């Protein structure tokens, strides 16, 4: 229904149910950031109660929870293995990612079942009640005996080990900080000594597991190589057998790594060359001998070929005789007898030299003949060997292939044999570059519960959940939070925003009241063109009756201070201060207006009470009576403020609302429910007067 429209209503008739106007919102759940604090303050009971519950629970938990202690051991895992031998089984090079993947993999190894089961066996956690073992007692021993009888001791032991493993996993934490290769192993249990013992056992189990894994890998690789060696040995023997059989079949006999035929061909060729050299030397010697025979004899000019010891001796004798001959010729003359003897001796020596030269020449001729015969034989033998070499060339090609096959098989076999022995020796060497840099010590302080942390967490959780519950409750029954929501729900502007104090003498309240009064008077045209007072009905929703009366006092006091003649009329039939004379009596004609009104000393405005509500009021609020009353007071006052009370509960004044000029709604931000405000607007529209505006009481407005 549009603002300003009136609906005729018959007196003494109950108002029917009117649905919410479609152009008005029934609920506005949108809130600004500043409105959240208002919601929290409004729902502070829920927030404080929830926070107190959580704080109490956190305090009880911190006092009653069993203390836990955490022990830590640090392991340095270097991804580069120690280079013990040059051909190590494990690669010592660093991966492109710096070895982070290797270290992360080792973290998973520490958490593996094999490592944890070693630690469980060493520390005896299977019998620890904290890790799932039954406590000692008659009932527990009886139950354990029944389980052993039904399932067997081995199955019961396996179940206990599995339970201890699950418990240990929950109490274990393996962490690695960024950019480091140090791994922290943390165990949290109820006893500090036990925590340190378990952590150290896990560290030892990890080192032992790594050593065993490397040893097993080396033994497995060595075993696989040994298994392969048998096959390789068989292949080598088969290749050598084929080679020897081929040699025997083709007559390819080798000596010192070479075929005999090849050696013979080479040796024969060398002997032939030597024979030819000998022939050349013999011919040269013979030519020299033949050249010196019968020629002038000069002992110093004899070739080396005929310088035999005999000739040298004879040449020496001949030289001595020649020297004597010269001396005697000088001393005795040429005809001396000694000279003839000397000459005879010299002739004999020369003859002997010639005889020796003849003998040497014949020997050289015989030697030349022998050398030529040997050359002939060697040449024939070489020709025969060459013929045989051509015939065996094809077999030699296949022989080389067989020899290459044997050599390859032998090389592979030797490589596998050496590598197998190296790996077998490496099984006894631990190349892992891992060490414990910090052994766990029993902690002095408990790690849980941390009372400060728990209480802080309880406080934060309580506040968070309390605020959440407050928001949920607010969403279920949202209150009016802001000026925007009030205008949207009523479809009318907020004329003034007053502080909570609502003091008529406060300048801030007066300033806002002046704006509201001027807005109420704007565009006001009295009916029938007759000058009369502006009639404003001030109403409120459930819970805002106190603010409503205070707002009326502020408006009336401000108007009176400006010199206006103001009349405040009480029309709230549910008020507790019903008097003996008032509006009801004036409407019935039982009392005059001037006899019923009084002056409010606080505001300076005139005041008319509701009157005696014990009598029936249906006839008093007849539409004609109400309009006549407003016409009567309209000519004597400038402003008439009617207190309509809680309008949804004061529907009998429908004629008053319908006859008034303005309807002013009073609401309080943070307390007035949106549903109540919407219901008030619906009732007012049904009475024929939609809200002209609203006055919003807001705690956030400061007074001067």
Q: Is residue 547 within 8 Å of residue 594, measured between CB atoms?
A: no
| Mean pLDDT across the chain | 79
Q: Is residue 36 within 8 Å of residue 468, measured between CB atoms?
A: no
In the three-class reduction of DSSP (H, G, I as helix; E, B as strand; rest coil), residue 662 is classed as strand
Q: Is 702 exposed, middle or buried (0-12, 13-18, 19+ CB in 10 A)?
A: exposed
Q: Tell me the pLDDT tens digit for each residue of 106-142.
A: 889 999 999 999 999 999 888 888 887 776 555 555 6
DSSP for 155-219 reads HHHHHHHHHHHHHHHHHEEEEE-TT--EEEEEEEES-HHHHHHHHHHHHHHHHHHHHHHHHHHHH
Q: Tell me the pLDDT tens digit for each residue of 51-88.
A: 999 999 999 988 888 888 999 999 988 877 655 555 55
The yes-or-no verdict on residue 614 having pLDDT over 70 is no
Interatomic CA distance for residues 320 and 300, integer angstroms: 14
- Whether pTM exceeds 0.75: no
The yes-or-no verdict on residue 9 having pLDDT over 50 is no
> What is the rounded (10 degree) CA torsion for 685, 688, 690, 694?
-110
Q: Is residue 583 within 8 Å of residue 654, measured between CB atoms?
A: no
The yes-or-no verdict on residue 348 having pLDDT over 50 is yes
The yes-or-no verdict on residue 456 having pLDDT over 80 is yes
What mean pLDDT comes out for the span 351-375?
Answer: 79
Q: Is residue 657 within 8 Å of residue 536, measured between CB atoms?
A: no
What mean pLDDT comes out for the span 264-270?
Answer: 75
Q: Is residue 623 within 8 Å of residue 658, measured between CB atoms?
A: yes
Q: Tell me the pLDDT tens digit for each residue of 580-598.
A: 678 888 888 888 888 889 9
**Would you put residue 555 in left (φ > 0), alpha (ψ -120 to 50) or beta?**
alpha
pLDDT at 643: 93
pLDDT at 19: 37
Position 48 confidence tier, pLDDT thresholds 50, 70, 90: very high
Which residues have C-beta within 8 Å of that of residue 129, sequence separation ≥ 6? 135
Degrees to nearest 5, angle at CA 258 with 256 and 261: 120
Share of the chain above pLDDT 90, in %: 21
Sign of CA dihedral 453, 457, 460, 462: negative
Answer with the residue of higher pLDDT: 680 or 531.
680
One-letter-per-residue 3-state SS of 66-100: CCEEEEEEEEEECCCCCCCCCCCCCCCCCCCCCCH
Interatomic CA distance for residues 190 and 70, integer angstroms: 9
Interatomic CA distance for residues 473 and 465, integer angstroms: 12
Q: Report CA-CA distances (Å) from 312 to 68, 346, 487.
A: 121, 15, 156
The yes-or-no verdict on residue 551 having pLDDT over 90 is yes
**Within 10 Å of residue 579's Cβ, how many Cβ atoms?**
18
Degrees to nearest 5, angle at CA 90 with 86 and 91: 80
Interatomic CA distance for residues 264 and 381, integer angstroms: 10
Q: Which residues pair with 667 in a beta bridge?
A: 696
Share of the chain above pLDDT 70, in %: 78
Q: Is residue 148 within 8 Å of residue 111, measured between CB atoms?
A: no
* CA-wise closest residue to 282 among 156, 366, 386: 366
- State the alpha helices, DSSP H only, in 491-608: 507-521, 545-561, 583-588, 593-596
Q: Tell me the pLDDT tens digit for each residue of 485-520.
A: 888 888 899 999 998 888 888 888 889 999 999 999
What is the β-pairing status of strands 258-259 and 254-255?
antiparallel
Q: Tell me the pLDDT tens digit for each residue of 143-172.
A: 555 655 555 555 555 678 888 899 999 999
The yes-or-no verdict on residue 397 having pLDDT over 60 is yes
Answer with the residue of higher pLDDT: 464 or 421.
464
Q: Is residue 658 within 8 Å of residue 686, measured between CB atoms?
A: no
Separate counts of helices (H) and strands (E) for the chain: 20, 14
pLDDT at 538: 95
- State the alpha helices, DSSP H only, in 432-476: 451-476
Interatomic CA distance for residues 376 and 671, integer angstroms: 142
pLDDT at 587: 86
Position 244 confidence tier, pLDDT thresholds 50, 70, 90: confident
Q: Tell me the pLDDT tens digit for each residue of 621-672.
A: 888 888 888 888 888 899 999 999 999 988 888 999 988 999 999 999 888 8
Interatomic CA distance for residues 109 and 115, integer angstroms: 7
Q: Which residues pair with 694 in a beta bridge?
A: 494, 665
Q: Is residue 251 within 8 Å of residue 396, measured between CB atoms?
A: no
Q: Is residue 347 within 8 Å of residue 301, measured between CB atoms?
A: no
Position 228 confidence tier, pLDDT thresholds 50, 70, 90: confident
Q: Is residue 551 within 8 Å of residue 666, measured between CB atoms?
A: yes
Interatomic CA distance for residues 27 and 14, integer angstroms: 27
pLDDT at 553: 92
* CA-wise closest residue to 647 among 694, 587, 602: 694
E strand segments, 521-638: 534-540, 566-570, 598-599, 606-608
Interatomic CA distance for residues 452 and 454, integer angstroms: 6
First to last CA, the chain: 40
Interatomic CA distance for residues 680 and 668, integer angstroms: 14
The yes-or-no verdict on residue 302 having pLDDT over 70 is no
Sign of CA dihedral 682, 687, 693, 697: negative
In the three-class reduction of DSSP (H, G, I as helix; E, B as strand; rest coil), residue 438 is classed as strand
Sign of CA dihedral 281, 286, 287, 289: positive
Which residues have C-beta within 8 Å of that of residue 352, sequence separation ≥ 6? 314
Q: Is residue 217 within 8 Å of residue 91, measured between CB atoms?
A: no
pLDDT at 148: 59
What distance separates the 2 farthest-apart alpha carbons in the chain? Answer: 223
Interatomic CA distance for residues 647 and 684, integer angstroms: 8
Highest mean pLDDT among 200-204, 238-242, 297-301: 200-204
């Amino acid at each position: 229904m549009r603002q300003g429209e009136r609906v005729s209503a018959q007196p003494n008739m109950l108002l029917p149910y009117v649905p919410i106007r479609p152009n008005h919102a029934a609920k506005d759940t949108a809130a600004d950031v500043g409105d959240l604090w208002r919601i929290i303050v409004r729902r502070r009971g829920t927030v404080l109660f929830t926070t107190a519950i959580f704080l109490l629970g956190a305090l009880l938990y911190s006092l009653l929870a069993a203390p836990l202690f955490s022990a830590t051991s640090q392991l340095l895992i270097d991804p580069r293995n120690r280079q013990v031998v040059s051909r190590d089984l494990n690669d010592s090079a660093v991966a492109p990612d710096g070895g982070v993947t290797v270290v992360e993999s080792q973290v998973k190894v520490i958490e593996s079942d094999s490592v944890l089961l070693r630690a469980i066996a060493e520390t005896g956690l299977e019998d620890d009640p904290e890790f799932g073992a039954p406590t000692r007692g008659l009932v527990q021993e009886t139950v354990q005996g029944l389980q052993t009888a039904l399932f067997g001791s081995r199955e019961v032991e396996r179940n206990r080990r599995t339970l201890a493993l699950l418990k240990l996993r929950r109490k274990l934490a393996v962490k690695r900080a960024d950019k480091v290769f140090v791994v922290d192993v943390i165990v949290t249990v109820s006893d500090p000594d036990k925590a340190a013992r378990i952590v150290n056992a896990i560290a030892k189990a990890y080192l032992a597991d790594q050593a065993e894994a490397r040893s097993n890998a080396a033994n497995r690789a060595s075993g696989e190589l040994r298994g392969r060696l048998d096959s390789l040995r068989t292949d080598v023997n088969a290749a050598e057998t084929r080679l020897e059989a081929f040699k025997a079949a083709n007559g390819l006999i080798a000596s010192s790594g070479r075929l005999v035929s090849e050696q013979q061909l080479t040796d024969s060729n060398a002997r032939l060359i030597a024979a030819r050299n000998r022939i050349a030397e013999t011919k040269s010697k013979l030519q020299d001998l033949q050249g010196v025979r019968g020629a002038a004899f000069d002992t110093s000019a004899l070739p080396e070929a005929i310088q035999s010891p005999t000739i040298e001796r004879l040449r020496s004798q001949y030289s001595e005789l020649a020297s004597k001959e010269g001396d005697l010729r000088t001393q005795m003359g040429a005809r001396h007898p000694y000279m003839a003897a000397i000459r005879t001796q010299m002739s004999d020596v020369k003859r002997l030299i010639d005889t020796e030269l003849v003998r040497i020449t014949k020997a050289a001729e015989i030697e030349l003949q022998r050398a030529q015969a040997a050359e002939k034989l060697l040449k024939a033998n070489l020709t025969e060997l060459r013929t045989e070499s051509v015939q065996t060339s094809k077999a030699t090609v296949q022989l080389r292939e067989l020899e290459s096959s044997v050599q390859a098989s032998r090389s592979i076999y030797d490589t596998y044999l050496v590598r197998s022995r190296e790996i077998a020796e490496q099984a006894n060497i631990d190349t892992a570059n891992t060490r414990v840099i910090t052994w766990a010590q029993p902690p002095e302080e408990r790690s849980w519960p941390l009372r400060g942390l728990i209480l802080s967490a309880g406080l934060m959780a309580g506040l968070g959940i309390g605020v959440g519950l407050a928001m949920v409750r607010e969403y279920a029954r949202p209150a009016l939070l802001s000026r925007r929501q009030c205008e949207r729900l009523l479809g009318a502007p907020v004329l003034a925003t007053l502080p909570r104090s609502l003091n008529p003498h406060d300048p801030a309240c007066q300033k806002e009241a002046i704006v509201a009064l001027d807005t109420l008077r704007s565009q006001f045209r009295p009916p029938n063109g007759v000058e009369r007072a502006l009639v404003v009905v001030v109403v409120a929703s459930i819970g805002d009756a106190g603010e409503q009366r205070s707002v009326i006092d502020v408006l009336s006091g401000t108007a009176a201070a400006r010199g206006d003649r103001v009349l405040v009329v009480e029309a709230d039939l549910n008020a507790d201060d019903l008097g003996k004379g008032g509006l009801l009596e004036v409407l019935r004609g039982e009392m005059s207006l001037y006899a019923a009104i009084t002056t409010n000393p606080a505001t300076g405005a005139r005041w008319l009470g509701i009157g005696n509500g014990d009598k029936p009021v249906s006839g008093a609020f007849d539409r004609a009576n109400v309009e006549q009353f407003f016409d009567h007071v309209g000519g004597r006052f400038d402003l008439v403020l009617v207190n309509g009370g809680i309008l949804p509960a004061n529907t009998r004044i429908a004629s008053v609302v319908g006859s008034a000029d303005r309807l002013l709604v009073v609401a309080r931000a943070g307390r007035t429910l949106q549903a109540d405000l919407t219901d008030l607007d619906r009732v007012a529209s049904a009475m024929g007067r939609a809200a002209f505006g609203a006055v919003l009481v807001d705690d956030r407005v400061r007074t001067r």
